[in-house]
């Protein structure tokens, strides 16, 4: 069901067509405008300033982290700060070493090459990249079989910016060739509020502080989701009200789109609901849980669970999935007396009160 793009949830972190169309207008253009990620920003700023002083191209940069946190944006900022052009491609688009050779050989001096999903490149392309990164050289193989010859080709110095959601999947020889690795973290709600205020200004949306906070709390720590929710809330405010976004209007709009106060969507809530109401909070096997919500096991495991686990609402144990005290609390339910979390919920509630 969730494979159908028309049924994509509003809180999916990967970009959809509308995101791509509007994101260009919302991207920060320099490091000062880039919100949050203080450590990566400071480290990167040093790398870039040092390169400028030496009048050299900056070292290759690896950016790792989940989708929608600003890796593409940062790569564009690197190019802009260096006054260099940028070429954008992705691992899956480079299936043959020849594809990569064609790109590398057309780079100009100082150019930034952004390679998204670098962990999904083919093996031969990856090996060609090692030499290109280290020696600014590639061997282009001409011909086949015993008569094949390798023609060395010098490349101008360039900066590779690789992006990956899974730094652990990169082979060590590739990882080692990056001079700097930035680990992108999920954004704090206060940072997302700043992202939302900035985007609202650019989109000419009137929003107050409480309205921005309401959207930020539902955005799963991800600027792309925050921007998408802002656009849907804007629609609602314009159609049903006078266009101004307040806390109540943001909450009502996102309730229509089934994104709850903590950023859970319909599937997340269905999984939690089944776990609590049908299985007493677990433990229950993944496939049983999936049947209970009418989804494939993979969908539950890959689409719903990562966020539920990250939020501390669900835990994976060797005996199956279990709900935490926070899950009962979130759905406003009381765990049965025999549940291991019985009583904890009251403590949790008391602590919150």
Ligand X SMILES: Nc1ncnc2c1ncn2[C@@H]1O[C@H](COP(=O)(O)OP(=O)(O)OP(=O)(O)O)[C@@H](O)[C@H]1O
- In this chain, which of 9, 60, 71, 267 binds ligand X, going by CB under 6 A? 71
Q: Which of residues 36 and 91 has its CB atom nearest to ligand X in the complex?
A: 36
Helices (H) and strands (E) in the chain, counts: 16, 9
- By C-beta, is 11 or 163 nearer to ligand X? 163
Kindly give the interhelix angle for 123-135 and 97-105, rounded to the nearest 10 degrees: 30
Contact map string, positions 108 to 147, toward ligand X, x by CB under 6 A: --------x-------------------------------
Give the list of residues 6+ apart from residue 116 with CB closer than 8 angstroms, or none: 71, 72, 88, 89, 90, 91, 163
Element (DSSP H or E) covering residue 210 = helix 209-217
Which residues make beta-bridge pairs with 228? Answer: none
Quick check: is 317 catalytic? no
For the question of residue 71 being annotated catalytic, the response is: yes
Q: How far apart are CA 180 and CA 47, in angstroms?
A: 8
Site for ligand X (CB under 6 A): which residue of 58, 70, 162, 281? 70
Three-state SS sequence of 279-311: CCCCCECHHHHHHHHCCCHHHHHHHHHHHHHHC
Residue the block writes with tokens 């060590």: 172
* Of residues 101 and 225, the one with the C-beta less far from ligand X: 225
Size of the site for ligand X (CB under 6 A): 23
Q: Cα-Cα-Cα-Cα dihedral of 326, 332, 333, 339, to 10°?
A: 10
220 binds ligand X per the rule CB under 6 A: no
Query: Which residue among 8, 45, 67, 213 contacts ligand X (CB under 6 A)?
Result: 67
Binding residues among 160-189 for ligand X as defined by CB under 6 A: 163
| Token code pair at residue 299 | 């969908």
| Distance between CA atoms of residues 340 and 65, nearest Å | 34
Q: Is 69 in the site for ligand X (CB under 6 A)?
A: yes
Displacement of CA 242 from its chain's centroid (Å): 33
User: Min. distance of Cβ 245 from ligand X in angstroms?
Assistant: 18
Stretch that binds ligand X, among 19-27, 243-251, 302-310, 315-323 (CB under 6 A): 19-27
Stretch of 3-11, 69-77, 79-87, 107-115 lying at the interface with ligand X (CB under 6 A): 69-77
Which of 94, 195, 237, 325 is the binder for ligand X (CB under 6 A)?
195
Q: Which of 165, 222, 299, 324 is catalytic?
A: 165
CB of 225 to ligand X, least distance (A): 9
Under the binding rule (CB under 6 A), the answer on residue 91 touching ligand X is no
Query: Taking CB under 6 A as the rule, does residue 73 contact ligand X?
Result: yes
Which residue in 12, 57, 71, 220 is the catalytic one? 71
d(CA 331, CA 347): 16
DSSP string, 94-147: --SHHHHHHHHHTPPTT-EEEEETGGGS-HHHHHHHHHHHHHSEEEEEESSGGG
Of the candidates 28, 91, 211, 263, which one interacts with ligand X according to CB under 6 A?
28
Whether residue 165 lies in the annotated active site: yes
At 264, list the tokens.
Answer: 């859970």
Which residue in the list 57, 218, 222, 224 is annotated as catalytic? Answer: 224
Name which position in 31, 57, 64, 68 contacts ligand X (CB under 6 A): 68
Q: Which residues are catalytic?
A: 71-72, 116, 165, 224
Rule CB under 6 A: which residues touch ligand X?
14-15, 23, 26-28, 34-37, 67-73, 116, 163, 195, 223-224, 227
């Amino acid at each position: 069901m969730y494979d159908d793009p028309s049924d994509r949830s509003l809180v999916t972190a990967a970009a959809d067509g509308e995101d791509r169309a509007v994101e260009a207008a919302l991207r920060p253009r320099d490091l000062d405008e880039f919100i949050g990620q203080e450590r990566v920003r400071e480290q990167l700023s040093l790398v870039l300033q040092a390169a400028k002083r030496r009048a050299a191209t900056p070292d290759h940069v690896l950016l790792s982290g989940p989708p929608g946190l600003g890796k593409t944006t940062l790569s564009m900022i690197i190019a802009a700060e260096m006054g260099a052009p940028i070429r954008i491609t992705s691992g899956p688009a480079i299936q043959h070493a020849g594809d990569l050779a064609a790109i590398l050989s057309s780079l100009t001096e100082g150019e930034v090459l952004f390679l998204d999903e670098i962990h999904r490149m083919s093996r031969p392309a990856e090996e060609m990249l090692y030499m290109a990164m280290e020696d600014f050289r590639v061997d282009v193989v001409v011909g086949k079989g015993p008569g094949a010859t390798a023609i060395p080709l010098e490349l101008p110095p360039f900066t590779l910016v690789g992006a990956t959601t899974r730094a652990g999947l990169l082979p060590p020889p590739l990882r080692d060739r990056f001079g700097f690795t930035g680990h992108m973290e999920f954004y704090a709600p206060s940072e997302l509020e700043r992202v939302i205020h900035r985007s609202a200004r650019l989109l000419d949306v009137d929003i107050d502080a409480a309205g921005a906070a309401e959207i930020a709390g539902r955005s799963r720590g991800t600027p792309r989701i925050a921007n998408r929710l802002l656009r849907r809330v804007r629609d609602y405010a314009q159609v049903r009200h006078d266009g101004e976004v307040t806390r109540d209007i943001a909450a009502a709009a996102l309730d229509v789109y089934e994104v709850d106060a903590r950023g859970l969507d319909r599937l997340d809530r269905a999984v939690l609901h089944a776990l609590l109401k049908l299985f007493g909070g677990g433990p229950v096997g993944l496939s049983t849980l999936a049947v209970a919500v009418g989804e494939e096991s993979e969908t539950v495991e890959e689409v719903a669970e990562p966020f539920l686990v990250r939020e501390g609402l669900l835990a994976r144990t060797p005996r199956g999935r279990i709900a935490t005290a926070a899950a009962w609390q979130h759905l406003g339910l009381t765990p049965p007396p025999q549940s291991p979390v019985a009583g904890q919920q009251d403590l949790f509630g008391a602590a919150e009160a």
